[in-house]
Amino acid sequence: MKIAAPLLASLSLACGAHAQQTIVFSTESYPPFSYQEPGGNYRGVGIDQVVIIMQDAGTPYTMEIMPWARAIAMAETQSMHCVFAAARTPEREPRFKWVVPLFVDRSILVRHAGSKVAATTLEEAKQYTVGTHRADYTEGLLKSSGFPKVDLSANVDTTLRKLLQDRIDMMPMSEGVYQKLKADGTPIEKVILFTEQHLGIACNPDVPDELIARMQAGLDRLIKDGTQTEILKRYGIGVPQ
């Protein structure tokens, strides 16, 4: 399990005075929200916020990037596990304890640049094959919204590759991720808005309420003092209006 240097530092500090049970965080590779640098360190909008939150909470923790389906399943089934950045949807609400929002996200449907895919409403979009990755909240939303042709992949990178190879017509994507990919030269174009939701930390129900409260207080401070906005800007993401 690989964790960045700041995580190791916070882990050793937290373990000093009193033995506390370690919180295990999992997330997926989804730049610029979470990713692994060539040197092995974890970075991203979500990761940077979680590091500060847990340093403030004074609780030992570890972190690992893995496929999303595995990450969210671990948080749901294993004690003292949390996953981020998870969309807080009505279906997920009772299954976890929540710390929100790491980001208020708009999800859009995007196409391969230059393709003839066109839609001005969600109803018009339903004629196309839309891809996403397994266990992502968009899988459930696409199906519950009546999209008949949903193509599932193991991770977001595979879905994007399919889009660029014209094996699917569209895919839902965070607007923040879209901004970063466009800036990096990825040939994609926005079609229409899909949905809007809060992304946050979703924890197993066994995580103590007192710890959840400390984590939420830490996140609230990040939002109030402008640190969250600065982190978003650091990764080239505009704050949703």
pLDDT digits (tens, 9 = 90+) for 29-58: 999 999 999 999 999 999 999 999 999 999
pLDDT tens digits, 189-232: 999 999 998 999 999 999 999 999 999 999 999 999 999 999 99
Residue 130: the pLDDT is 98
In a domain, 111, yes or no: yes
Question: How far is Cα 128 from Cα 148, in angstroms, rounded to an integer?
Answer: 9
Nearest to 85 by CA among 69, 67, 97, 103: 103
Whether 210 maps to a domain, the answer reads yes
> Could you tell me if 116 and 71 lie in one domain?
no
Amino acid 14: pLDDT? 39
- Tokens 């979500």 belong to residue: 46
Same-domain status, 132 and 188:
yes
Whole-prediction pTM? 0.75
User: What pLDDT, on a 0 to 100 scale, did the predictor assign at position 105?
Assistant: 83
Residue 79, in any domain of the structure: yes
Query: Within a domain: residue 241?
Result: no
* Percentage, residues of the chain above pLDDT 70: 90
Shared-domain flag, residues 116 and 68: no
Range of the domain at 119: 105-196
Would you state the pLDDT for residue 237? 83
CATH number, domain containing residue 133: 3.40.190.10
Does 240 reside within a domain?
no
Sheet holding 171-174, edge to edge: 61-65, 23-27, 81-87, 188-203, 97-112, 171-174
Between helices 209-224 and 227-234, what is the axis angle to 10°? 70
Are 52 and 133 in a shared domain? no
Residue 102's pLDDT band, with cuts at 50, 70 and 90, is: very high
How many domains are contained in the chain?
2
Asked whether residue 59 falls in the same domain as residue 114, the answer is: no
Indicate the pairing of strand 23-27 with strand 81-87. parallel
For the chain, report the end-to-end CA distance as a whole number of angstroms: 37
